[in-house]
Amino acid sequence: MIAIAALWILGRYRLRRLNPVVSAFYRAEVKRRRNIELTRGAFKAGPVVLTVVAVLLLATSNPDWTLPLLVGGTIVTGTWLATWRRLWRRTMAPKLDKRQMAALRAFFAVRTAV
């Protein structure tokens, strides 16, 4: 715990020593990456959570169908976990990168004009 706290304090100290333009870029990049990672996490976990909730609700309302629902939910979840990376790379990531890169270009246009 002490090592983690020391590294965090060292990192904060090093960030304060950066010049203002680099510091502003770093903050913008951290925000951009955080937004992408949150979207990626929702894209990955969202269907799994929805499948679990649907299976639980359907299984409690009709106990005779519990085993087929569990098998179906397992198949759906396994399929999603096997294919989500490919779908992310081909559909979501290019859109997010273009939008975020446009925002960074606009940010630097404003910073260099000042």
| pLDDT above 70 for 107 | no
Residues 39, 35, 82: CA angle, nearest 5 degrees? 30
Q: Is 66 left (phi over 0), alpha (psi -120 to 50) or beta?
A: alpha
Q: Which of 41, 44, 38 is nearest to 100 (CA)?
A: 38
- State the pTM of this model: 0.64
| pLDDT above 80 for 74 | yes
At residue 40 the predicted structure's pLDDT band, cuts being 50, 70 and 90, is confident
| pLDDT above 70 for 22 | yes
Residues 57, 62, 67: CA angle, nearest 5 degrees? 85
The residue whose two tokens read 């929702």 is 42
pLDDT, mean over the chain: 85
At residue 24 the predicted structure's pLDDT band, cuts being 50, 70 and 90, is confident
Contact between residue 92 and residue 41 where contact means Cβ atoms under 8 Å apart:
no
